[in-house]
Amino acid sequence: MAEVAREERRHPRLYKATGDLVISAISEDVTHIFRVHAVVIAEHSPVFSGMLSLPVEDAAAQKYDGVPIVHLPDNAKDVGALLEYLYTLESSVLNAAGRTWAAEAYALMAIANKYQVDSVCTALTNCLKAQWPTTLVEFIEAKTRKPPSELFYSEAAQSPREPASAIRLATDFNIPEVLPSAYYELAMHDITTGSTNLIRWNLLRPEELLRYYQGKRRLERRFAFSAAVYDPPNLQEWCETLFSDYDWYEGDPRESSVCRREMASAKKKWEGKFGDSITNFEAMRRADPIQAILEIYEEDKNNVKFCALCSNDFRTDCRRAIERVWGSLPAAFSLVRVFISAVITVSLVLPVYL
């Protein structure tokens, strides 16, 4: 059976009059034609360099518009994006943002990886890391869209990122550093609510869905005990309010501390806000222990009357609690064994913003 003739379209920007190589690729039953310079392609891609160095008899060589033509099996849109970067060192994908970015970047990463164009792979990796932070400070800044000195989460400030496509991109192209924050963001959503407009659940493989379920349950348990920051193991030995009303208190003088009573009052207020978090389905469905501790700190910072020493202790307790959650994410989502050969950089350092 004769092959059906396809419509041909020359690329408006990547059909160079002085090009000495034509590349064709198909997309949606249309053959897209690119005329480029072999030296530019070979310089960036060892695969193309080896391909173009193979001897071909002139009589056997296929030509288009008087120059050799190479037919690629890849999608023409992806080929165009790759060639665009090779000529300009820029790409519409690299400059894009939003919830569809990772899905769009996946196609470009795949073809760049196939032809070993390392500069494109590096650029896309850096873009992914910029969107999905690898340190705790970056994570908080991205989460709140505010500097760490103004940490107060707004429910209206919804994340423009889409975690499932980021997980797919990071997993398939060995970028494990972003997985803790991507899985944490994914765990803020409930697959049973059918939020397919927000999360592309279909991109996740069974083992990744299992990590999501397991990690979400573990985060829920941590969320349930977020108020533990109100229960420091020891009150400051030199608490300034320690003996403020000892004249009437009988028993351990530490229990007379105004700071102790303020802390108990603040804990009760937090528990009243969330109810019994162990049985409160709505709170547990969007279990976010880092956010819970941030809100504890922010709301109490201006309302609770701690002395200077206890206030410093309280900030330290909040910071350490957040660091423990952040540091536990690789284990919570079973990432340690999966990426045992990769270096997962998890910063446990939170500067004194709190």
Q: Does residue 168 sit within a domain?
A: no
pLDDT at 160 over 70: no
| Alpha carbon distance, N-terminus to C-terminus of the chain | 73
Rounded mean pLDDT, 179-204: 83
Q: DSSP class of residue 122?
A: H
**Burial tier of 212 (Cβ tally within 10 Å: 0-12, 13-18, 19+):** buried
Name the residue with higher pLDDT: 191 or 204. 204
Q: How many domains does the chain have?
A: 2
Rounded Cα distance between 148 and 121, Å, is 31
pLDDT at 53: 84
Q: What is the DSSP string of 18-62?
A: T-SEEEEEEETTEEEEEEE-HHHHHHH-HHHHHHHHS---TTT--
Q: Does residue 202 sit within a domain?
A: no
pLDDT at 254: 46
Across the chain, mean pLDDT equals: 76
* Domain final residue pick, 62, 88, 114: 88
Name the residue with higher pLDDT: 305 or 67. 67
Residue 59: band (very low, low, confident or very high) from pLDDT cuts 50, 70, 90: very low
Name the residue with higher pLDDT: 233 or 189. 189
Report which residue type is found at 139.
Answer: F
List the CATH number of the domain containing 48: 3.30.710.10
pLDDT at 196: 57
Tell how strand 67-75 and strand 63-64 pair up: antiparallel
pLDDT in tens, 68-104: 999 999 999 999 999 999 998 887 777 766 777 888 8
High-pLDDT (> 70) share of the chain, %: 67
pLDDT at 314 over 70: yes
pLDDT at 221: 76
Q: Residue 45 sits in which domain range?
A: 1-88
Report which residue type is found at 260.
Answer: R
* Domain final residue pick, 46, 68, 88: 88
pLDDT in tens, 243-270: 444 443 444 444 446 777 777 777 776 6
Q: DSSP class of residue 89?
A: S
- Cβ–Cβ < 8 Å for 320, 354: no
pLDDT in tens, 209-253: 999 999 988 887 777 666 666 665 545 454 655 544 444 344 444
pLDDT at 156: 31
Q: Does residue 104 sit within a domain?
A: no
Residue 292: band (very low, low, confident or very high) from pLDDT cuts 50, 70, 90: confident
* Domain final residue pick, 88, 122, 146: 88
Name the residue with higher pLDDT: 249 or 185. 185
pLDDT at 353: 38
Mean pLDDT check: name the lowest of 54-58, 91-95, 113-117, 124-128: 54-58
- Cβ–Cβ < 8 Å for 240, 229: no
Question: Which residues contact residue 213 at a Cβ distance below 8 angstroms, ignoring those fewer than 6 apart?
Answer: none
pLDDT at 275: 53
